[in-house]
Amino acid sequence: MSVDCLPAAQVAAVIHRGSYQGMPALRQAFEEWVVAAGHDPGDRVRVLYLQFGAEPELEVPTAFLAEGSRDYVTEIQIPLVAA
């Protein structure tokens, strides 16, 4: 396992609650919104899995685990290029 630090960035962010099924459509709509709002998006979208499911053998701390996919919490961040 490795830990890397992401560089600081100003981002546009959206929180998604629920299963990952709707994530592709949400991400596309969010990317379109960022451009329509007049922002210049960076080239690397960040996806943070804040609450999720995991196999018991992974020994993930329970604070991060959701009881079911309806309880997943995911944040999508689009870094914004400074003008």
Question: What is the pTM for the complete model shown?
Answer: 0.85
Q: Name beta bridge partners: 79.
A: 11
How many domains does the chain divide into?
1
pLDDT at position 4: 85
Q: Is residue 31 part of a domain?
A: yes
- Within 10 angstroms of residue 19's Cβ, the number of other Cβ atoms is 14
Q: Is residue 4 part of a domain?
A: no
Residue 1: is its pLDDT beyond 70? Answer: no
Strand order in the sheet with 11-17: 11-17, 73-79, 46-51
Q: Is residue 52 part of a domain?
A: yes
Q: Which two tokens stand for residue 56?
A: 């018991």
CA-angle at 61, arms to 56 and 63, nearest 5° = 120
CA nearest neighbour of 11 among 42, 33, 36, 32: 42
- Give the domain extent around 44: 11-79
**pLDDT, tens only, 30-72:** 999 999 999 999 989 999 999 999 999 999 999 999 999 999 9
Q: Is residue 2 part of a domain?
A: no
